[in-house]
Structure 1
Amino acid sequence: MVAERITRGFWPVWTILFALIAALAFGLHETLPVEALWIGGVIALGGLGWALLRGILRFRWPTRAEALARLDLTLPGRPIAALGDALALGTEDDGSRTVWRAHIARMAARAATARAAAPDLRVAARDPFALRYAALTAFVAALLFGSLWRIAEVPGLAAPGGEALAAGGPSWEAWVEPPAYTGRPSLYLNTIDAGTIELPEGSRVTLRLYGAVSDLGVEETVSGRAPLPEDGEAPVDTASVRAIDFEAVQSGRLAITGTGGREWRLTVLPDAPPTVAITGKVMREADGTMSQPFTASDDYAVAAGRALVELDLGAVDRHHGLGPDPEPREVLIYDLPMPITGSRAEFAEALVEDASKHPWANLPVKMTFEVVDGRDQTGTSETETLVLPGRRFFDPVAAAMIELRRDLLWTRDNARRVSQILHALTHRPEGLLRNERAYLMIRVAMRRLDAALVQGPLSTAMRDELAEALWEIAELIEDGGLADALERMHQAQERLSEAIRRGASPEEIQRLMDELRQATNDYIRKLAENMERQGADEPSQQAQNNQQITGDQLQQMMDEIQRLMEEGRMAEAQELLDQLSRMMENLRVTEGQNGEGQQGPGGQAMEDLRQTLRDQQGLSDEAFRDLQQQFGDQQGQQGQQGQNGQPGEGQAQQGQDGQTPDGTGEGLSGERSLAERQRSLRDTLRQQEGNLPGSPSDEREAARRALDEAGRAMEGAEEALRRDDLPEAIDRQAEAIENLREGLRNLGEALAQNQPGQPGNQGEAFGDANQQMPRDPLGRMAGQSGRIGTDENMLQGTDVYRRARDLLDEIRRRSGDQTRPTEELDYLKRLLDRF
């Protein structure tokens, strides 16, 4: 009860004390004027006295009766009060006295269990704003981050003019903090005797003087400021604590004059700017990535760096599309790589960037490296003149696409010239554009460019979109060739062979195996596309010895190569890799072997979709010519008439194909409007979409979605044609063409995956007889001529290991079925023993 009354009565006292100590420990008295300190001190002392007097007046020492009553409240039935009571009635009755004695005994037993209650020190009702917690938090922070020694300065503030000092007399503190980027520690000058001290440039010197102004002074010549005034000229400063800080920028003298003063000679070490140099020639990787080595150094650390690349216009061969003045472009800036670990005082790195898509790729440029240090000082390398590395395209048509892209990005004034070249390139593409998809993409890009030119000057967004399309076309032409695919596969095999010879790490082996798988799959796909263009009457997919090879067998062979390498059997892996290389060089692929060289349902569906694509292309050409006529564009009329009196594009296509865009040989009816012809083409596509061949698969579903998107785009084009909105119709037709191409590609992949799963594709010799053949305990059909085994490929699919595990699990499950015949169980047991 005493603790409770002290807490409730005197909590304002220690709240004010905690707040006052925290303010003094943090040096509040050093920053406020003397007048404010006097006023604040009076208010604090007055509040402290009021709180103390209030607590004293309200405090009452608890009496014994109050203590017993408080204790009695903690017990049920108030037993202590009952023990002090007496029987009021029935004192003459024996029964009443007996009951009363029993009651007193029970209350005495209950009172014997009494325990002192814990004090209730909560004062939230008296301090609703939690001022006590705020003061306590400030006090704890002052203990951790402040200095309680500052409280000793307070008595000096009471003297007029600050002349009264603490009992210890005048004193001072001084320390030096070097810049953080130097990594040097701070120096506490109180522990350093007079002498010479070396400091990095930019170090901050801080001094704190305690006492009267006349007792201590500071003299320094390291800050570069004007000398401090003499004592007689110094302004009157009544504060007893002075804080002085400045930056050391030059060597000089620092002295604290007066009682207990000290003097030092400070030698400021200049901070030299960083240096950077371009070392060696820039190296170009196969994919166009450039690697430029450089070195950088600083007396402490290089903070950051960048490479500045600007066009060397004077060295550019200003011919063809580069003749007009280029559009202004910002300097190309790359951040220089910095070491993640280790010292940055001196290091060598290489800038690795890919500028292949930049308009300045393969053009003369000027390259300069810049680095900065912690003081923002800049170091610059010598300017190097070089040709900005970029990807090289060896296919002439791909190189032409890249040159047109560069001309378009050089200035938008080249847009009409680019359009003319695209028209000329696609006028008679026979023998020039062997990739049908690339041809269609060029046509789409050409129409979009012409449509944009009809509406006015080419916008920046359209320019960038067309530049990206031309880049994709060039990559498709360059990388889409069979010879390139074969070369990439050979390179992947050579890299893997080299890794085997030098004992590469498992991670590198895995990466090279994935690369070989991808290159092999690309080569097989390109080979199939090449044979498809030549016709479907070739032999089946065969190796040199006319043995049929499936994609699963190739995958199994590569899996076996990887397994041998993982087991350390490098010689066997190399031998198998050489066998794979010889087999792939002699590989031939066709569309199938139905006995008569017929295309079958899949081939017919592909041909129908190609015809639909050609029809859509012709319809889009006619819509574009109508748009040119509508706006009276002179170039559009020239494009319709052709060059040198040649037929227009739509006529050219009819002439080169020997038939009209709809493939009938008679042309679409001239009396039908474009919208009606678009609707008829959409209905044809819907029918083809509903009759897609092949078994269900992800690729077949992707083909269906792409064709569905093409149908919706055709529907949008039809609506735009009915509104006579030709630009919108051309855009929708371009989307339809792109989705048709995507659907063709996905359907081709679906049919290619279904091909190995056909039952031999060797005519109808077996027909339904296979269903009547007996099966072994694994569910396999017996081979021909009654031999033991099967003609089926048990490890179909890409994940052969999972398939093998599933087979092994099935064998174990059947071997545990005791209801099966004994002969079958013995056979299953022999299989388990073997595998």
Structure 2
Amino acid sequence: MGGPEHSLTAPTAQNGGHHTPDGNAAPPSLALARHLAAMRQRAGLVLRAEYLRPALLPPFALLGLYCLGGLLRVPQHLPDNARLVLLAAWLGLCGWRLRAGLRGIAHPTPAAINRRIEQASGLTNAPLSTLADRPAPSPDARTALLWQAHQQRVLASLGRLRAGWPHLLPHSRAGQAAGATLLAALVVAGVLAGSSAPGRILAAFIPGRDDPDVPLPRVEAWITTPSYTPNAPVFLKTDASGTSSPAGTAPSPQVPQGSHLTVIVSGIATAPVLRGGGGLVLDRTQVQQLDAQSWRLNATLAHGGTVRLAGRGRTLAFWPVNVLPDAEPEVKWGPRPGAPKGEWRTRLPYEASHAYGLSSLDMEMRLAHPARGMDDRRVLSLPVPLAGHQHAVKGVLTPDLSEDPWAGMDVTGTIVAQSLSGRRARSAPATFTLGARVFHSPLARAILDVRRRFALGQESRADTASDLETLGDTPGPIRDHSGMALNLAAVIAMLDNSRTDAHTAWVGATNMLWDLALDIEDRRDGDDASAQASLDVRAAQAAVAQQLAKLRTSGTQTQDAKAELDTRLQALRDAISRKMQALANAAIRNHTAIPDLPGFSAAGDKAFSRLMKQLQSDAANGHSEDALKRLQDMENATERMRNATPQDLAALARQMVAQQKAQEQMAAARDLTARQTGLLDHAQSRLDERLRAQARRQNDLADDGDGEASNYTSMPTSELLRQLGLPVPQDADQANAPPAPPPPMPDPAKAEAQASARRGERATQHALERATEELQNEFKDLTGKAPAAFDDARTHMREARKALTDGDDATAATAEEKALEALRKGRQQMSDAMKGNGQNSTPSFLPSFGSPSEDSSSGSGSSEQGENGSGQPSDETDGANDRDDASARRDPLGRKLGEGRDQSPDDSTHIPDTVTRQRAREIEQELRRRDSDRTRPQQELDYLDRLLKPF
């Protein structure tokens, strides 16, 4: 093909064809030559396609037959292995037939290319062959020029050339019919298959893939949240079309991070797979075959997105899942951590929370400003007790860290919280001071200074032993007391012994030196009994704390454990009793004024005994945290006793005197209230008797009449208002009012008895008024505050006295009831004033025995407890006793009878009997009837309108 193209263009290039005057070739001839060359290339391609037709038609026919079988789902009915063999054999046959056909293909010749162009372009006389011809050998120049001119004319006469389209159909009619039949069958089968046609063809060519017409396998899927969450499993639903959604209304379930996805697929021969999309991450995916047609898939959800379940080339299900990240716990310090001024306990407030619960909470403390030579690697760790797996905790720990070598130094604390999901978080650091005990003995402070330097690594063991030997030779309690000298010698020997390892020496020396310093401090006044009692108290408290920790750790309340706790509590009670006796003896030696020393001891015994009972009850009921707080309160009280001075005992004496006076005044106030209640009962009894007599008389009048008139129709308006206790206007009685019925004739003896009773009650009321005034003045002298309610009480007492003089029991009862209410308010004001002044509080050396507070380092309790410091019953306790005594003297309506006692504020309201209530209703109905009678004077009607308007 390259030869003719060269022979066509060569003459033009050598001779120039038609030349222009300047020697250039003519452009039209060159364009025709290029067009002919391009057409020959196209014709070559067409011929090659026609030459490939015999080789490609048989393989394509075989592939068409296989596709037809796929559309008819013939291969899909075979097992996967058989389908693989059939596909391999069929493709092998197609390949063999293609190779055989390609082996005999020839390349198109230039002559064939020219003939193809001539036939497609409709050229006659083979003009392209003329362009390829050559003149006879050795032509002369004239003949050559003529030949070239001839070729130029032939080239110019070619016109538009074409290569045509390749003929790919079979030449024979049988072949054409077979091809048309196969194509029609494919079209019909594709139309019948519809949208499933591509899937069927792919399934036919891919073994292990199902076509869309195969029923989907059964899918069961659910998401199990982690064990630390309370959420129920989330079940996922799959419909028949393969689209999936979670069961319920929410299209995208929200599950915590780390949830487990479980999928059960039934009715599928090969293992399905789980894939994540949209950012979803699946961790630890596992596939387990349950039987020949069932599979179990497990995966852990790490991030949200879409879960896609695929099997045998199809999407079996997909679910959008929103995975909530597992956040770190929130933890921080509370306000004002550290030891309050003058306290030896360290206040450690904390707050922590996590959505799924907390597993542990620890406080880590390090030295804030370590000096040169100090070991800055030490960490003081303090676990925070958690009741179960709480989602949010907030509280205050008040541990006694005064024994730690860092006591009194600044530390930097961090709270470390760990959630049930394993996430950890640290709070922002806080710098505060650890609590430290106050030591007054110079020798004790010197020993503690040596102990601190050794514990913090500022001194070696040898230097520490040398310093302790020097302190042992110093004149003082160590040389005077053989036990202290032996303890100090034991510490020095431990430090000098090279066979004792560093940790044992560190722990033993620091503990023994601390006990030695406490013993020296206790003996600074030369009181061996008090020092020994303090030592016994500390040992007993440590034993109780150890037993409580054991009960808390085991979580069981066995009989032996309870008995052991009782034994240790009894030992603590005895030790505290000896300590209080030692304090009392010291007070006698120091001539401290304590007017009621036995009362002080009894108060201490009662306070500590009650606190121990509550501690024992908390421990028996499994409330170990409350029991530890009770013990902590007890430790605070014993520490205050240990540091007691003669001045403290003198202050205690003044406090006890003030308490005794306050209790006497509270008892006087209770007596006033009880006597005022008796006066009210007497007046109420006479009033009720009178009202019942009037009711009987009016009922008799109503029975004698026509039955239509009201019992109060004939009574003047002023009398009706007076019986209701309302103010009576001067013009309330009108001339047109019907006359009142004549009053009944009183019994002279009974009237004289009532008059005598009123005279006696008037004298009693006057005495109560004077007593109230005296009590108010005495209380003001004691506390500096006068209860204002006592002024109101005396005013109402005077009103009651005047009403008794006038023989008006109704007015007297009303005034006495107001006086009684004012007395109750005055008692409450007295109680509040004593609480504010500390007069009714527990003595400073005794523990409070209320509910354990959040901060166990608080001081003494308040008067709201059942007993006060002096061992006398409080006002509330006596009130309870009064209520018990008065409960048996009540009428069926609960109203007090006879000489009542003081009641609670809720019982202060007088409860009228049935007759009184019925009389009040009848009087109110009569007033309304008169208000509706518009014939009455306008002034009376206006007053009745104003009177009845609020009702």
Which TM-score bucket, shorter chain as reference? 0.3 to 0.5
Query: What is the TM-score when the length of structure 2 is the normalising length?
Result: 0.32
Query: What is the TM-score when the length of structure 1 is the normalising length?
Result: 0.36
Structure having the higher Rg = 2
